[in-house]
Chains A and B, each alone.
Chain A
Amino acid sequence: MSQHTLGEFEELVLLTVAAQHNEAYGVSILESLEKELERKVNVSAVHVALKRMEEKGFVDSRYGGITEDRGGRRKKFYIITALGKRMLDEQYSLRNAIYKRIPKISFN
């Protein structure tokens, strides 16, 4: 395991950031997560996860242009970094590898 870990919720957020490449920001991530998970998500939780992953270097951010419906505030877009992507890949292959080892189980 690398020294920076990825929590479950963080992983979901990171996946969403990667999926919405270049267009991911707080509200879009929140809405996509709520849709996928079919439950309410705290916007503050999303922000906390983003800040943490930015500190760990999994995501990068940049400011967008000013839009009217944000009260004159700029969007902050998040982009996955190479490190972030490698982290996701590692997680994915790790899980896949273990999953593949599951013998055929019948539940009847």
Chain B
Amino acid sequence: MHPPKRAIQFLRWFCREDYLEELEGDLTELFRKEYGHSVIKARATFLWRVIKYFRPGFIRSFTSSTYSNGMYNNYFKIAWRNLFSGKSFSFLNIIGLSIGMTCCLIIFQYVAFESGFDRFHARKDNLYRVLQSYAQGNDAMENGHAYTAQALTPALREGVPEIVSITRVHSENAIVFNPTTPSQIFEEDAALYVDDDFMNMFSFPMASGAKALASGTVLVSEATAKKYFGNGPIEGQTLNVTGDTNKIYTVVGVFKNIPENSHLQFTMLLPMEDLLKGSDYSTEPEGGWSWNNFTTYLELRPDADRAAVTRKMTDILLKYRGDALKERGARGALNLQPFSDIHLNSDVEGAGSIVSGSYKTLYFFLVIGVITLVIALVNYINLATARALNRSREVGVRKAVGANRTQLVAQFLYESAFTNISAMILALGLTFILLPFVNDIAETKLSVAQWLEPMFLMSLGVTLFAGTLLAGLYPAFVLSSFKPAVVLKGIASSVSAHFALRKGLVVIQFTACIVLISGTVIVMNQLRYMRTLDLGLNLEHLVSVQGPRLLPDNADRATLMNTFMHEVRQLPGVQGAATSTRLPGQGFNWNGAATRKVTDDKSKAIVGVATYIDSAFAPLYGLELVAGKEFRSITLPEDPNAIWQVMVNETAAKTLGFPKADDAVDELLMIGDYKASILGVYKDFKWSSAHQHQQSIIFGMTRTGNNVSIRLSSEDIPGTMNKIQSLYASLFPGNLFHYAFVDQNFDLQYRDDQRFARLFGIFAGMSIFIACLGLFGLVAFTAQQRTREIGIRKVLGASVNSVVALLCRDFILLIGIAIVIATPVAWLTMSRWLKSFAYRIDIHIGIFLLAGLLAVVVAALTISLQALKAARSNPVNSLRSE
């Protein structure tokens, strides 16, 4: 029979001590009397009564010091009154600011998340990734890439004493199943082969078991363990892995799921020694220096000199590879990339970084966020100075009774802080609501949990502080400069005095808006251009099916694939099928193949890219032969030393030095160390995205390419796919049927660009909205100031139209100026952006006119609403008060 505890605690917390005894006693007595009727009701009534005491008079004083803050109370009161006396202006201010801050908060959160990658490792400051770079002849060293050879690690471990630990990482895409449930097969595309040091140098926490990785053992993540073993015991269980190695592994440990902010994402760790012993790597030519398929990570001693280590490493590379490089006329070097730089440095190409960001995008959005916020702050400055007149008497009185200027500046800054804090609270709420949508659009993984991170809290504080100062400082100095003798006489001089400044600020706002709008238009146009670009390839209704990973024992891949292809072509609804090792949009098998005419010197080699197709590929994809013969007219030679027959594209023929395509046919080439002859030349087509220039493409022939492309007729696509799937299942049991539409896959290359365009558009929209809020306020204010003028004009016979024109003319002029300023700015920035595309649109002057027109229309709509209202008001009302 006790009253609710929480309610009592609350009462005791806020209530004045001298009242508490009586109140608590009376409330308890009432509660006990009502308790008999209904317990729930009595408790609710009690709580409700307690809440009713939460009012001035009963609330105790919370300030413990004797220092008087009466002045601040007064500032607060005045700020509060001002907020309500100009409700619509305060509303515009706070809404505009909170939207600006929301943009900023979301961007800050994004930035905090992106720049917080890989910071959870205990020894992060000593961790590095090894970069390898080359230069041809006297060229400057390239940026470097993270692909290194398997032999590098043992050589470095031996030759560089500063290295504490070092590991190779090789990514694996394996078919995995639990031998006790062989029917449940999974594809693990995030498995890694690593050296023993891996788990010691990185701080990926273990959930259970050991983290030492010996031959025949495997570590899995918690989620993966659950997938294969349910809730049963995990350690000691086995997994059948088929990929680069083909083996049964025993699970010895389980690591916690890898956090989102790690560039290394993996679900399974396999021992490197098994990969090196049990696959092609055991017989790798040139002592394991020839295939750069490994990423190398290392940990240095804390006192190591990074530059000295880099020099030692390069010396080791040259010791083993110097001669081979010299023969090609090239130089090589090794470098160390700090661990925290890996995620955001998009200049370095590297395996293993599945999640990659970019400094450029990060800075770009940071700038946009700040611009949006500044546009909102300008609103505050504009409205505060515009309304200065209303405050002039207050300032006069305060000065007359002895306030000095510092105090007045403090007061107005206090008001600015008040507005900023209110807007920030609103913005936090808005951000909370909008986060799921942002995650959806921007494909990010932001959560409210990040709000507690110091980085985010700091940016929050900086935004508030900077916002308060930026918005408050100028109005504070303007307002505090009023001379009491003048303002108290009632001479209004301040309205027009700062009009020039306000005009300037409006111009800045709209310049920013127009730059953002025209930027959006250009980004969208470029996107559309890229997606409708004529590829020279026909990708319509083309579906790609991944070939089998697992084959029955003793089966011949070529024969089985042949059967599959034959059967698929027989299916109704299938118009054609071909195999290749890669698909358009997925790169090539051999990047940077040094290619030259046999008769040319090695130093004249051009950079080619090569991939393998079968004889049906060209007709299926609609490749146009301009010279020579197709693959279909040859048979693949049995002899591995026979001259390689290749097809090239026109660009390859031209850069190799054949003036006409016909000249290239039957000519002999050296591609790497292989001798090849050109069978035919295809017309240029686009295998990669529009970011990429036309490359010199070389096609070799294959019969066993693992990507099957199938052209479907447009009727009953699901039915045909079902038939293909059952055919696949019967021919290749134990494999997962993966398929995708080739054109959709090709479009995936533009995913980042699309995301960028969407975000750009949203921020542009936000900024123009905020700018219009400010404009709306300014026009409303001007109309209010000129009520009498409008009244007199109307009495003397002015029409509504002319009054509207009077009010709008100035603002439209300002936007005109903004267009003039914005055009070159947008032109320059967007041309720089477009440079990252090999195929790009031309920037039309029309785009800027369109953006400007849009800004004018939106602004005109905003203004004319207010202007019409002012112009249509009855002059009697405005003039009567004189």
In angstroms, Cα B2 to Cα A26, docked, is: 20
On whether the beta carbons of B29 and A27 are closer than 8 Å, the reply is yes
| Nearest Cβ on chain A to B357's Cβ, whole angstroms | 57
Known: A51-B57, A63-B21, A73-B21. A43 touches B28 (CB 8 A): no
On whether the beta carbons of B30 and A27 are closer than 8 Å, the reply is yes
Cross-interface CB contact of B49 among A43, A51, A69, cutoff 8 Å: A43
Q: A96 interface residue, CB < 8 Å from B?
A: no
Q: Within residues 1 to 52 of chain B, which ones have a CB less than 8 A from any CB in chain A?
A: 2-3, 19, 21-30, 32-33, 49, 52
Cross-interface CB contact of A76 among B21, B30, B49, cutoff 8 Å: B21
10 smallest beta-carbon distances between A and B, as pairs: A73-B25, A26-B26, A76-B22, A71-B28, A70-B25, A44-B52, A27-B29, A70-B29, A73-B24, A69-B32
| Nearest Cβ on chain A to B90's Cβ, whole angstroms | 32
Residues from chain B with Cβ under 8 Å of A73 in the complex: 21-22, 24-25, 28
Residues from chain A with Cβ under 8 Å of B26 in the complex: 25-27, 30, 43, 47, 70
| Nearest Cβ on chain A to B133's Cβ, whole angstroms | 78
A28-52 interface bits toward B, Cβ cutoff 8 Å, 1 = contact, 0 = none:
0010000000000011100110010
Q: B53 interface residue, CB < 8 Å from A?
A: yes
On whether the beta carbons of A71 and B25 are closer than 8 Å, the reply is yes
Q: Within residues 59 to 77 of chain A, which ones have a CB less than 8 A from any CB in chain B?
A: 63, 69-71, 73-76
Residues from chain B with Cβ under 8 Å of A76 in the complex: 21-22, 25
Q: Apart from A30-B30, A74-B25, A75-B22, what 5 extra A-B contacts exist at CB < 8 Å? A: A44-B58, A47-B19, A51-B57, A70-B29, A76-B25
Known: A44-B52, A51-B57. A75 touches B23 (CB 8 A): no
Scoring A48, A63, A70 by chain B CB atoms within 10 A of each residue's CB, the highest score goes to: A70
B807-844 interface bits toward A, Cβ cutoff 8 Å, 1 = contact, 0 = none:
00000000000000000000000000000000000000
In angstroms, Cα B49 to Cα A107, docked, is: 44
Cross-interface CB contact of A47 among B3, B23, B28, B33, cutoff 8 Å: B23
Cross-interface CB contact of A26 among B22, B32, B58, cutoff 8 Å: B22
16 pairs of residues in contact across A and B, judged by CB atoms under 8 Å: A27-B30, A30-B26, A43-B27, A43-B30, A44-B52, A44-B58, A47-B19, A47-B23, A47-B58, A63-B21, A70-B25, A70-B26, A70-B29, A73-B21, A73-B24, A76-B25
In angstroms, Cα B32 to Cα A73, docked, is: 13
Among residues of B, the one whose C-beta sits closest to the C-beta of A71 is B28
Q: Within residues 834 to 874 of chain B, which ones have a CB less than 8 A from any CB in chain A?
A: none
Scoring B28, B29, B55 by chain A CB atoms within 10 A of each residue's CB, the highest score goes to: B29
Residues from chain A with Cβ under 8 Å of B57 in the complex: 48, 51
Residues from chain A with Cβ under 8 Å of B21 in the complex: 63, 73-74, 76
| Nearest Cβ on chain B to A21's Cβ, whole angstroms | 19
Residues from chain A with Cβ under 8 Å of B55 in the complex: 44
Cross-interface CB contact of B28 among A51, A63, A69, cutoff 8 Å: A69
B residues with a Cβ closer than 8 A to A are 2-3, 19, 21-30, 32-33, 49, 52-53, 55, 57-58
A residues with a Cβ closer than 8 A to B are 25-27, 30, 42-44, 47-48, 51, 63, 69-71, 73-76
Residues from chain B with Cβ under 8 Å of A47 in the complex: 19, 22-23, 26, 53, 58
Among residues of B, the one whose C-beta sits closest to the C-beta of A64 is B25
Known: A63-B21, A71-B24. A44 touches B49 (CB 8 A): yes
Residues from chain A with Cβ under 8 Å of B32 in the complex: 69
Among residues of A, the one whose C-beta sits closest to the C-beta of B3 is A71
Scoring B22, B32, B52 by chain A CB atoms within 10 A of each residue's CB, the highest score goes to: B22
Residues from chain A with Cβ under 8 Å of B27 in the complex: 43
| Nearest Cβ on chain B to A4's Cβ, whole angstroms | 17
In angstroms, Cα B19 to Cα A104, docked, is: 49
| Nearest Cβ on chain A to B8's Cβ, whole angstroms | 9
In angstroms, Cα B22 to Cα A30, docked, is: 14
In angstroms, Cα B24 to Cα A69, docked, is: 11
Residues from chain B with Cβ under 8 Å of A70 in the complex: 25-26, 28-29
Residues from chain B with Cβ under 8 Å of A51 in the complex: 19, 57
Residues from chain B with Cβ under 8 Å of A63 in the complex: 21
Residues from chain A with Cβ under 8 Å of B58 in the complex: 44, 47
In angstroms, Cα B28 to Cα A75, docked, is: 11
| Nearest Cβ on chain B to A90's Cβ, whole angstroms | 26
Scoring A47, A51, A74 by chain B CB atoms within 10 A of each residue's CB, the highest score goes to: A47
Residues from chain B with Cβ under 8 Å of A44 in the complex: 49, 52-53, 55, 58
Residues from chain B with Cβ under 8 Å of A75 in the complex: 22, 25
Residues from chain B with Cβ under 8 Å of A42 in the complex: 49, 52
Scoring A48, A69, A73, A74 by chain B CB atoms within 10 A of each residue's CB, the highest score goes to: A73
Cross-interface CB contact of A69 among B19, B29, B53, cutoff 8 Å: B29
Residues from chain B with Cβ under 8 Å of A26 in the complex: 22-23, 25-26
| Nearest Cβ on chain A to B719's Cβ, whole angstroms | 73
| Nearest Cβ on chain A to B519's Cβ, whole angstroms | 59
Among residues of A, the one whose C-beta sits closest to the C-beta of B52 is A44
In angstroms, Cα B627 to Cα A44, docked, is: 99
In angstroms, Cα B58 to Cα A70, docked, is: 20
In angstroms, Cα B27 to Cα A25, docked, is: 12
Among residues of A, the one whose C-beta sits closest to the C-beta of B26 is A26
Residues from chain B with Cβ under 8 Å of A48 in the complex: 57
Residues from chain A with Cβ under 8 Å of B33 in the complex: 27
In angstroms, Cα B7 to Cα A71, docked, is: 14
Residues from chain A with Cβ under 8 Å of B30 in the complex: 27, 30, 43
In angstroms, Cα B24 to Cα A76, docked, is: 11
| Nearest Cβ on chain B to A102's Cβ, whole angstroms | 39
In angstroms, Cα B2 to Cα A27, docked, is: 18
In angstroms, Cα B21 to Cα A27, docked, is: 14
In angstroms, Cα B30 to Cα A71, docked, is: 11
Residues from chain A with Cβ under 8 Å of B23 in the complex: 26, 47
In angstroms, Cα B21 to Cα A3, docked, is: 31
Residues from chain B with Cβ under 8 Å of A74 in the complex: 21-22, 25
| Nearest Cβ on chain B to A55's Cβ, whole angstroms | 10
In angstroms, Cα B24 to Cα A26, docked, is: 11
Among residues of A, the one whose C-beta sits closest to the C-beta of B55 is A44
Residues from chain A with Cβ under 8 Å of B29 in the complex: 27, 69-70
In angstroms, Cα B281 to Cα A62, docked, is: 96
In angstroms, Cα B628 to Cα A46, docked, is: 105
Among residues of A, the one whose C-beta sits closest to the C-beta of B16 is A51
Residues from chain B with Cβ under 8 Å of A25 in the complex: 22, 26
Among residues of A, the one whose C-beta sits closest to the C-beta of B30 is A27
In angstroms, Cα B32 to Cα A30, docked, is: 15
In angstroms, Cα B18 to Cα A74, docked, is: 12
In angstroms, Cα B331 to Cα A10, docked, is: 98
| Nearest Cβ on chain A to B59's Cβ, whole angstroms | 13
In angstroms, Cα B25 to Cα A81, docked, is: 24
In angstroms, Cα B52 to Cα A71, docked, is: 20
| Nearest Cβ on chain A to B50's Cβ, whole angstroms | 9
In angstroms, Cα B58 to Cα A63, docked, is: 19
| Nearest Cβ on chain B to A73's Cβ, whole angstroms | 3
| Nearest Cβ on chain B to A10's Cβ, whole angstroms | 14
Scoring B23, B25, B29, B32 by chain A CB atoms within 10 A of each residue's CB, the highest score goes to: B25
| Nearest Cβ on chain B to A65's Cβ, whole angstroms | 12
Residues from chain A with Cβ under 8 Å of B49 in the complex: 42-44
Among residues of A, the one whose C-beta sits closest to the C-beta of B27 is A43
| Nearest Cβ on chain A to B653's Cβ, whole angstroms | 94
Among residues of B, the one whose C-beta sits closest to the C-beta of A69 is B32
| Nearest Cβ on chain A to B220's Cβ, whole angstroms | 59
In angstroms, Cα B49 to Cα A43, docked, is: 7
In angstroms, Cα B58 to Cα A44, docked, is: 10
In angstroms, Cα B49 to Cα A48, docked, is: 13
In angstroms, Cα B58 to Cα A42, docked, is: 15
| Nearest Cβ on chain A to B406's Cβ, whole angstroms | 38
| Nearest Cβ on chain A to B363's Cβ, whole angstroms | 57
Residues from chain A with Cβ under 8 Å of B28 in the complex: 69-71, 73
In angstroms, Cα B658 to Cα A35, docked, is: 112
In angstroms, Cα B495 to Cα A108, docked, is: 67
In angstroms, Cα B22 to Cα A27, docked, is: 10
Residues from chain A with Cβ under 8 Å of B2 in the complex: 71
In angstroms, Cα B434 to Cα A58, docked, is: 57
| Nearest Cβ on chain B to A107's Cβ, whole angstroms | 41
